[in-house]
Amino acid sequence: MRKAASILIWMIVAVCVITLITLPISLQTQLIVSVTVVIIMALIKLFKGEGKWRLVALAFGSSIILRYVFWRTTSTLPPINQPENFIPGFLVYLAEMYSVMMGALSLFVVAMPLPPRPSRAATEGKFPHVDVFVPTYNEDAALLGNTLAAAKAMDYPPEKVTVWLLDDGSTLQKRNANNILDAQAASLRHIQLQELCEQLSVRYMTRDRNEHAKAGNLNNGMQHSTGELIAVFDADHAPARDFLLETVGYFDDDPKLFLCQTPHFFLNPDPIERNLQTFDHMPSENEMFYGIIQRGLDKWNASFFCGSAAVLRRKALAETNGFSGVSITEDCETAIELHSRGWNSIYVDKPLIAGLQPATFASFIGQRSRWAQGMMQILRFRFPLFKRGLSLPQRLCYMSSTLFWLFPFPRTMFLFAPLFYLFFNLEIFTSSGGEFLAYSLAYMVVNMMMQNYLYGSFRWPWISELYEYVQTVHLLPAVISVILNPRKPTFKVTAKDESIAVARLSEISRPFFVIFGVLLVAFGMAIYRLYAEPYKADVTLVVAGWTLLNLIMAGCALGVVSERGERSSSRRVRVNRRCEFGVDGRWYPASIEDVSVHGARLHVFSKTFDPLGVDTRATIKFRPYSGAQEETLIVTVRNTQPSGEITAIGCLYNPQSALDHRLIADLIFANSDQWTQFQLSRRRNPGLIRGTIWFLGVSAYQTSRGLVYFFRSFRGKPEEQIQPVKAGAQ
């Protein structure tokens, strides 16, 4: 009876909504309604309305969007007997409807996300055995040493943890390669990593052939291990000491739990953050996914495996013969298979690992191309909407996650749609200036307000649009390729530990300057037509505004592809730990101020301390979190800056043994609270107006900077000045 009443109520609500959406009203009334809704939403936001008030604001916004969709569908499409107008007009319409559909799916996922879960330590005396897998392909020993040492230092009964290095860079296939140099390099790597693992008490594992990429590597590890749970860390993802304590306990609560996923925190900025210099004060792009979307997915039991920083149940993986390898995104594919078999997942919103992001724009695009192609493969081979075994919310959540990667198509249409009118005089959108103000502009403002309502502290205004634009140029052909041939993509390793020696234009920057030039000419054409055709001023003004918005975005992208030179390839993390600094047999009281994966900055407190020369060998003595005794770490001095009784010293690590890797890992990765504090320090909502003004300033500066880089590039630079230091990560 209650179910029937619920269905009846929803039917009545649906009829009322449809009636309100389709109700014929005058243009003036529509404008008044739109302004009223904007004011109501702004007031609710101003008074920080949450809970039901949040849903009220989103409902008001949705009503304006649905009114726009109805008007757009019934009143703005060109006549079908004018194919030169109708075809491009209909393509733009489809792009808009895709955006509305994705907005609806996103709203379903994140309208009321779960709050962060409380810590759940393992029950005393119930510590399941955990196999820790660190898959590697071509990462160097120093980077692997830090990750393995951090994994070994996790706070968990040592007899209950086995750490495995799964080496796909030294397979028998590679050691017997036809290319002698490649074979020798693989053999040398094989020996070096075996020695490293022996020193760190880590199990080393390789295989005969590189089959099924990362999924095959992980499955090979499963065949040689027996732990009840499996923790997976990418080669550059080092865990904090409390990783297992914060995750393993959930498996005791739910015998059907197959996954406990945690966020990916990064020590270095991505190329866009680095080139725009936003890393220290604006939330990173991935924080919207890990801070909001994953919690929204978790509400519907649809949080999925992200390839690393996760714990999985072996029993569940055994049902699917291990990690799925049909697509090149084995993580999401594995999750959808296990969800469809009735297994559950949870998401713990606390950064418990720290990793590295691609430093160059080209590597960033390569990574995103793999993600996009992998999601398209899942859409093709596992189509979530019709996947048997998934609940309806899970189907919608997975459709949201996969369909998102079709964004290059609508972004391309929005970018070039104004050009149809300006250059070819095509009328692809039948509307007056007044209708644009009452419907289109209201839709755009409400849409931006809803995004700010949902993601404000995690994603600032216009940043999503910028990220999508800079990816669209190169992802569009990648997505088209996988749609035409879904089995063509192959797993490619993403380079992570890179550095850029000198400022330069990205090697894939040319299309962005071409697009900027075309849009600049188009905007000039719009200004000309305003004067030449005053009787079309209302339409031309709308198109000119659209073109200007695209031009602002394209200009900002010029700064994105203008790679800044950097002195360090990774960000320094503040730690403030007491230590002693030793040089030439003398010890001085000191503190470690900040650390990175390569070195540290110290403050030495002494009136008699003399400045040191570059490359002076010295020693740091400190007490690690994992022990009661002080340990020493050898470093190389890079610079000294005396200031009164305090001398600042920059130094590089000089690891000589496994113990050194343990100490480095203890400095950087042991304390996860420092990562949480850093993220919280950036999470503030500038608001829609201030955020827009800020973005306009950023765009103006980055446009000029990009043009300076462009004209300087004609002088030419010696190729040897560009010295990236690479180490990939699967």
Active site (catalytic) residues? 168, 331
Closest CA to 498 of 694, 307, 356, 665: 356
Closest CA to 383 of 436, 422, 326: 326
Cα 328 from Cα 367, distance rounded (Å): 11
Cα 470 from Cα 489, distance rounded (Å): 21
**In terms of DSSP bridges, do strands 161-167 and 130-136 run parallel, antiparallel, or are they unpaired?**
parallel
Query: Is residue 615 within 8 Å of residue 650, measured between CB atoms?
Result: no
Query: Is residue 212 within 8 Å of residue 196, measured between CB atoms?
Result: no
Cα 496 from Cα 664, distance rounded (Å): 19
- For residue 361, the cross-strand partners are none
Residue 302, SS3 per DSSP:
coil
User: Would you tell me how many other CB atoms lie within 10 Å of the CB of residue 1?
Assistant: 5
- Both structure tokens of 383: 């189509």
Query: Is residue 196 within 8 Å of residue 141, measured between CB atoms?
Result: yes
C-alpha neighbours within 13 Å on the C-beta side of residue 610 = 7
Query: Largest Cα–Cα distance of the chain, in whole Å?
Result: 90
Residue in the block written with tokens 């070039």: 416
Query: Is residue 377 within 8 Å of residue 482, measured between CB atoms?
Result: yes
Output phi, psi for 724, to 5 deg.
Answer: -70, 140
Output phi, psi for 600, to 5 deg.
Answer: -145, 160
Cα 322 from Cα 691, distance rounded (Å): 45
Query: Is residue 545 within 8 Å of residue 256, measured between CB atoms?
Result: no
Query: Is residue 699 within 8 Å of residue 548, measured between CB atoms?
Result: no
Cα 459 from Cα 451, distance rounded (Å): 9
The total number of residues shown for the chain amounts to 730
Cα 511 from Cα 529, distance rounded (Å): 27
> Strand (E) positions, 94-209?
130-136, 161-167, 203-205
Cα 502 from Cα 565, distance rounded (Å): 4
- Residue 134's contacts (CB-CB under 8 Å, 6 or more residues apart) are 144, 147, 148, 151, 163, 164, 165, 166, 233, 234, 235
